[in-house]
Structure 1
């Protein structure tokens, strides 16, 4: 594939860490969660994607929506991915790549049950400046790294819009 530059796992991990540093909120509320959730839904509808969205502040689910074409399996995936953010304070994509680079599974490296923890892309930490990780935004249903890319694109848009206001 001419013109396509492939990243090493180490380069991708560095890029994902940088993304987590950049995508931080000054403040975050249930209204912010609603805005993010609705924007993700709007994008999914325009693109004809079937996804499940889950947004949590602490242990409270403050937004959840399942597009037509999803199932309870997607709900379970969002829960398992959210547990990764809760446990490690990192995106589930970061943990996916970190484990892949180490040649380990979540059970091998951290002794965690893979039926409860899913280190696969799609869950991103809600980080508030001077407060740390307060929750997660999770998408399930897209192939490859597309869950992660959808979440981060919307977070970037919402954070940029709030900086302008």
Structure 2
């Protein structure tokens, strides 16, 4: 049986490390554009969605994405909002328990997807206030894209 503990700890550490002092509409615009630029540079077709307290602040789609990506984003956002952790953390956690989110948390699979790609926006000493989400790649890659750009963004401000 695979040991998921190191990966789970790494994902929790990302949530502890990648936090903002403040998150404005301008922050969402700059971060969303940074994610898009990285995706275009790497020739990855994605949708980016950033929300604060349920309010849509940034949403952009590269050519080749569609309505299905929007549905995936909403399902992943629902997981991040419900559990206060990244949707990828929840994916790995349920995998480590050898179950699914639907079996364990009794949520509607049409509304919740424990797959990588939605990362909570954490404010230091406050907690999660929104989400940064990507869809278009395998879940682990969606998560990695968000985390990589988020880390670079936070290190530059």
Q: What's the TM-score bracket when you normalise by the shorter of the two chains? A: over 0.9
Look up the match of 1:116. Answer: 111
Look up the match of 1:4. Answer: none
Look up the match of 2:41. Answer: 46
Match of 2:7 among 7, 12, 19: 12
Aligned pairs, number: 156
TM-score (norm 1): 0.92
CA contact (8 A) 1:55 1:136 kept: yes
Larger radius of gyration: 1
| RMSD between superposed Cα atoms in Å | 1.0
Deviation at 1:58, TM superposition (A): 1.1
Deviation at 1:134, TM superposition (A): 0.4
Runs of 4 or more off by more than 6 Å in structure 1? none
TM-score (norm 2): 0.96
Distance 2:23 2:138 in 1: 29
Look up the match of 1:73. Answer: 68
Distance 1:153 1:83 in 2: 22
Could you give the per-residue CA deviations for residues 46-79 of structure 1, whole angstroms, max 9, x where no partner exists?
1111101110101111100111000100000011
Q: For structure 2, list consecutive stretches of 5 or more residues without a partner in the other structure.
A: none
SS of residue matched to 1:126: strand
CA contact (8 A) 1:106 1:113 kept: no
1:31 matched to 2:13: no
Distance 1:93 1:143 in 2: 11
Distance 2:26 2:80 in 1: 21
Look up the match of 2:16. Answer: 21
Deviation at 1:143, TM superposition (A): 2.2
Deviation at 1:144, TM superposition (A): 4.9
